[in-house]
Structure 1
Amino acid sequence: MGAAQAARRGFASAAAPFATDSTGRILPHGGELKNLFVTDAALKQDLIASCKHQKECSDRNACDVELLSVGGFSPLSGFMNQDVYDNVVQHMRLPTSNLIFGLPVVLDSDDSAIKEGDRERDASFAHLTTHPVSPCATPAEVRETLPPHQDVVVFQCRNPVHRAHYELFTRALHAPNVRSGAVCLVHPTCGPTQDDDIPGIVRFHTYEVLKAELQNPAIKWAYLPYSMHMAGPREAIQHMLIRKNYGCTHFIVGRDMAGSKSSLSGEDFYGLYDAQNFAKEHAPELGMQTVPSADVVYTQEQGYVTADVAKKSGLSVQKLSGTKFRQMLRSGADIPEWFAFSSVVKVLREHTKASSEA
C-alpha cells in the first residue's frame, strides 16, 4: 500500500512509540492495573463481615464486576459515585486524574437499603474469596501471552468470525503504522449484546474451534467479559482503554462500530465513520493507535481483495447477506468456503438444530 493510499484509508504513516512497563508491554490506562482481589484470609473475613448488602447481579452488571475486579477498567477501583458518573457523562473524563474514560461504570440497583456512597465502597469487596467462574483471562494473564516490545493489534467483535473478518485482521498486521513482527489479539466480547445476536456461549464455541483450526502463531485469542452498550463513538473509546489494559497498542475500528438504530426514525443513529474519526482523534491521548477496518470483498477472479481494487479492476464481487446465511444454516444448504469456516458452520448448525428441537 503506497503512502497516498494509506493516507486515504486513515492510516498513520509511521509507528509512534508507546509508553511501556518493565516487561516491554504497553502501560495500562493510568499507569497500573487495579487488582481488587483480596488474598489475605483474615482481611477477607473482616471485609465480608463488614458488608451490609447482598445483591444478585444482572448478566450485564456481572461483566462490569469482573472487569473491575481483574483490572480491565483500570484505573477504576470501584463503581463510580455520582460525581465521577456526572463528569464522565458530561466530559468523558475521570474528575481527579482528568484521564479520558468513554462510558460510566455503575451498579444497577433498585434496593432502597443501599444508600449514596455505599456502591463505591462495596464494589471494592466484589470478589473476596474466589476467581469469577469465567473463560476470560485477566489483563495480567493476557499480557503474559503477548510478545514484549512488539505491536499488538486487537480485533473486537461480538459475532462469529467469518472469512472476511479473518482477512480484515490479518491484513491489519501489515498496515503502515504497525511494525513488523506484530501480533493480532482476537478479543471478542462474551457478555450480553443485542437480543437477536447469537448467544455468548455459542459464540465462544465458534471461537474455540476456529482457534484450533487456524493454528496461526501471529494470532492470539482471549475473551472479554464485557456487555455491549451500542454507544457508538464513546464505546469505541471504552473498548480502546480496556484493550490497552490488556496490553494492546493498536485497535481496529470498524465502520459504525457499536452502532444502533434511532428509535424514532429506524435509521442509523451514528454516522458511518463517526466511531473511526472519534477514536483516531483521541488515540494519541490514550497512547494507542487506530487501524481502520479494511473493506474487503470476495471476487471470483482473485479471492479476497479490498473493495477499491475490485472496483478499479472490474472484478466480479460475490456477496452473501446475513439473512441468507441464516436461512442456509437452517435449511442445511451448502455454505461456500469463501464466506465461512467449516468448523464455525458446524457449531452454528448444531446450535440451530438444538434450538429448533427445544
Structure 2
Amino acid sequence: MPRLTEPYGGALKDLLVSEDEAKDLKARSVDLKSVFLTASEEFDLELLMIGAYSPLEGFMTRDDYEEVLNDLRLSQGLIWPIPVTLGISEELANRISPGEEVALRDQEGFMLGVMEVEDLWKPDKRREAREIFQTDEDEHPGVVKLFEEKGEYYIGGKVKGISLPIHYDYRMLRRTPKEMREWFKKVGWHRILAFQTRRPLHNAHKAVTLKAADEIGANILLHPIVGPTSPGDIEYYSRIRCYQAILKTYPPETAILNLLPMAMRMAGPREALLQAIINKNYGCTHFMVTPNHADPFTATKRPPYYPRYSALEFVRQHEKEVGIEAVPFERMVYVEELGQYLREDQCPKDCTPRRLSAKELRRRLEFGLEIPEWFSPKEVVEELRRAYPPRSKQGFTIFFTGLSGAGKSTLARILYTKFLEMGDRPVTLLDGDIVRRHLSSELGFSKEHRHINVIRIGFVASEITKNGGIAICAPIAPYERSRRYNRELISRYGGYIEVYVATPLDVCMERDRKGLYALALSGKKKGVTGIDDPYEPPKDPEVVIDTTDMEPEEAAQEILSYLKKTGYLGRAIYAY
C-alpha cells in the first residue's frame, strides 16, 4: 500500500506535554515571568505545538535566526526560509536570563505553554526586513508589523505546550498535521495537492485545482489561512462560508477542507516556501503556487510587490530538498461558446475568453453590479454580497486629519448635520477634543499616548462602521503609523475615507482659536503639533482640502461630492 510522504526533517514535533506535566507546569507558573504573545506569535506557537513547523521545537535561538537570514537554513542544515521568533520588550529583557523558564500567555492572559530561555538578543530588524521582505520600507505591511508589533528583543528556546489556543468556531475543520495524516491514511489518499489561499474560491479556482490534481493523480487539500493576512482581505468567517459552499460543487471524494491557523508575513517567495514546508508536514506531496503568491498588493490598486512567478521559481529551486513538488497555478478562462473553463493558451481562436479579476469582482460588489453566473456558484456570490454590500448600504468612516486650526472640527460638524438630514444611516461624531475628555482623559501628549488616543478613536469608528453607521473622526492624528493602523482596521468592515485638511501652519497660527500656538510660542506649552512636535502629512488620502480661501460649506461639498461619486451616498456617478 502506498505510504504518505514523511514529515519535513523525518518526524512531526508535537510539543504538547502530558496532562500530568501540564498540571505541574501550571502549578509552577506562579513563579514564572510572563510573556504575552502578539496575535501573530500566538499563531506561530500553535503551529509549533501541533507540529506544522516541524522540525522546530520552539522559538528560534540566535544561531538558527542568523543562519536563516544568511543562508536560508537552520543551524542543523535543513532549509528554512523565515525566522520564527518571539519578541519581548527591553524592560522584560532586562529581567530575564538564559536558563530560566517563562510562561507564554495569550492576549487575555491564558497560559498556553512554557519556554526555557536558551538565548536572548537584540536583532537588527532592518537587516531582517531586507532579507525576508526584500525591503525595509514601511510601505510593506510585513515590515510595519515587524517594526511596530514585534518586541525589541528576541528570546529563543524549546517550548512545552500546555494548551492549544481555544477556537470555538469550525472545530471540525481544524485538524492538526497528525490528525490530517491519519485521515489521509484512513481514506487511502497518498498523493495530495495542497491549495493554500487567503481569498474566496470561484469556478476558475475549482477548474485549475481539478485539472492539476487530475494530471498528477492526486486528491486536493483546500487549506485556507485563518490567521492575519493582508489588509483589505475579506474577514475569515465569510471566507470559510464561501469555501464550504464551493466545496459542495467539487466531485465526490475529490477534495477536503481544513483550516490553517497561520499569520501571514506577506513575504512573497520566502513565504511560499514556508507554506510548502507546512503542507508537507500535513502530508501533502504537491503544493500549488500562484503567480503572485503571498504578495501584499495583489487585487489592490497597487502593482504586485514581488515579480510575477518569483515565488514559483523559488519553491522549485528547493522542492527536491524539501520533498514537496511545486505545481503552477495556470490561468483559466471561461469559454462561453463551449460552456467550460480552459487554460488561457488553449482557448480556440474563434472563441472569446472571459475572465473576472479579484479587483474587478470587488468593484462589482461595492457598486452592486452584476456578477455573471459562469464566474462563481450562486451560494458563493450570495455570501460575498453579504460580506461586501454595495457602498450605498455600507457603513463608513470619514477620518479628518490636519493641524489644529485647519478646519477639521467645523467640517466634521457640517457633515454630521448633513448626514442627519439624509437619515439613511446612524451617525456619530468623534471630535478630537471630545474624545480626549471622555475616552482618553488619562492620556498625556507623548508620542505613544497620541498614538493610543488615535487608535482608540479608530476602534470606536470600526465598530460603528461594522454595524452600518457613519463615523466622523476629527483628531489631529499627526502620525502616519496611527492613521495606517486605523485604515487597516476600519477597511475590514466598510469604507474608509481619509480627508487631509492641508491648511498651512501660518494660516492655522493666525486663526489660533484655542490659543495653543500662542502658548507654544511663549514657551508655556510643550508638544504642540507643528511647533515642537512633528506632523506627518498623509501619503495617499482620498480627499485633500485647503480651507485657506474656502468657506466651510464649500469644503464640505467637496467631501460630499467624493462620497456621491464613489457610491457611498446613492448610486455612484460612475463605477470606476
TM-score by length of 1: 0.83
| 2:130 match | none
Report the secondary structure of 1:174's partner residue.
helix
CA distance in 1, matches of 2:209, 2:175: 21
- Which residues of 2 match residues 312-331 of structure 1 at below 5 A? 313-331=349-367
Deviates more, 1:248-257 or 1:50-59: 50-59
Higher-strand-fraction structure: 2
| 2:54 match | 74
Q: Report whether the alignment pairs 1:36 with 2:15.
A: yes
Query: What amino acid does structure 1 have at the position aligned with 2:195?
Result: F
Query: What amino acid does structure 1 have at the position aligned with 2:235?
Result: P
Q: Report whether the alignment pairs 1:225 with 2:261.
A: yes
**CA contact under 8 A between 1:152 and 1:183: conserved in structure 2?**
yes
Cα shift readout 1:258-297 (whole Å, capped 9, x = no counterpart): 12469xxx65432212111111111100112111111211
- Which residues of 2 match residues 266-281 of structure 1 at below 5 A? 267-281=303-317
Report the secondary structure of 1:44's partner residue.
helix
**CA contact under 8 A between 2:221 and 2:258: conserved in structure 1?**
yes
Cα shift readout 1:189-239 (whole Å, capped 9, x = no counterpart): 111111111112221222123334546311111110111111111111101
Label 1:50 to 1:90 Cα distance change in 2 as closer, same or farther (>3 A).
Answer: farther
| 1:307 match | 344
Report the secondary structure of 2:288's partner residue.
strand
**CA contact under 8 A between 1:67 and 1:73: conserved in structure 2?**
yes
| 1:54 match | 34
| 2:175 match | 137
**For 1:172, which of 212, 216, 234 is the aligned residue?**
212
The alpha carbon displacement at 1:93 in A equals 0.8
**CA contact under 8 A between 1:25 and 1:148: conserved in structure 2?**
no
Q: Report whether the alignment pairs 1:337 with 2:373.
A: yes
| 2:70 match | 90
The alpha carbon displacement at 1:185 in A equals 0.6
Query: What amino acid does structure 1 have at the position aligned with 2:353?
Result: V
- Which residues of 2 match residues 207-246 of structure 1 at below 5 A? 207-214=243-250, 216-246=252-282
Report the secondary structure of 1:108's partner residue.
strand
Label 1:116 to 1:346 Cα distance change in 2 as closer, same or farther (>3 A).
Answer: farther
**CA contact under 8 A between 1:65 and 1:126: conserved in structure 2?**
no
Label 1:125 to 1:342 Cα distance change in 2 as closer, same or farther (>3 A).
Answer: same
**For 1:102, which of 81, 90, 109 is the aligned residue?**
81
Label 1:202 to 1:245 Cα distance change in 2 as closer, same or farther (>3 A).
Answer: same
Report the secondary structure of 1:154's partner residue.
strand
- Which residues of 2 match residues 339-358 of structure 1 at below 5 A? 339-353=375-389, 356=395, 357-358=467-468
CA distance in 2, matches of 1:323, 1:225: 26
CA distance in 1, matches of 2:229, 2:10: 30
Q: Report whether the alignment pairs 1:151 with 2:191.
A: yes
The alpha carbon displacement at 1:47 in A equals 1.9
Structure 2 portions without partners, runs of 5+: 103-114, 118-156, 396-466, 469-576
CA distance in 2, matches of 1:37, 1:71: 9
Instruction: Give the root-mean-square deviation of aligned CA atoms.
Output: 2.6
Query: What amino acid does structure 1 have at the position aligned with 2:22?
Result: K
Deviates more, 1:30-39 or 1:331-340: 331-340
CA distance in 2, matches of 1:337, 1:116: 62
Report the secondary structure of 1:291's partner residue.
strand
Deviates more, 1:235-244 or 1:297-306: 297-306
Percent identity over the alignment? 32
**CA contact under 8 A between 1:102 and 1:237: conserved in structure 2?**
yes
Bigger RCO (CA 8 Å, 6+ sep): 1
TM-score by length of 2: 0.53
| 1:16 match | none
The alpha carbon displacement at 1:332 in A equals 4.0
Query: What amino acid does structure 1 have at the position aligned with 2:51?
Result: G
CA distance in 1, matches of 2:199, 2:316: 24
CA distance in 2, matches of 1:226, 1:274: 22
| 2:116 match | 121
CA distance in 2, matches of 1:347, 1:170: 23
The alpha carbon displacement at 1:320 in A equals 2.5
Report the secondary structure of 2:67's partner residue.
helix
Query: What amino acid does structure 2 have at the position aligned with 1:47?
Result: L
Label 1:259 to 1:124 Cα distance change in 2 as closer, same or farther (>3 A).
Answer: same
Report the secondary structure of 1:313's partner residue.
coil
The alpha carbon displacement at 1:48 in A equals 2.6
The alpha carbon displacement at 1:92 in A equals 1.1
Query: What amino acid does structure 1 have at the position aligned with 2:334?
Result: Y
CA distance in 2, matches of 1:69, 1:102: 19
Structure 1 portions without partners, runs of 5+: 1-21
Report the secondary structure of 2:22's partner residue.
helix
Query: What amino acid does structure 2 have at the position aligned with 1:187?
Result: H
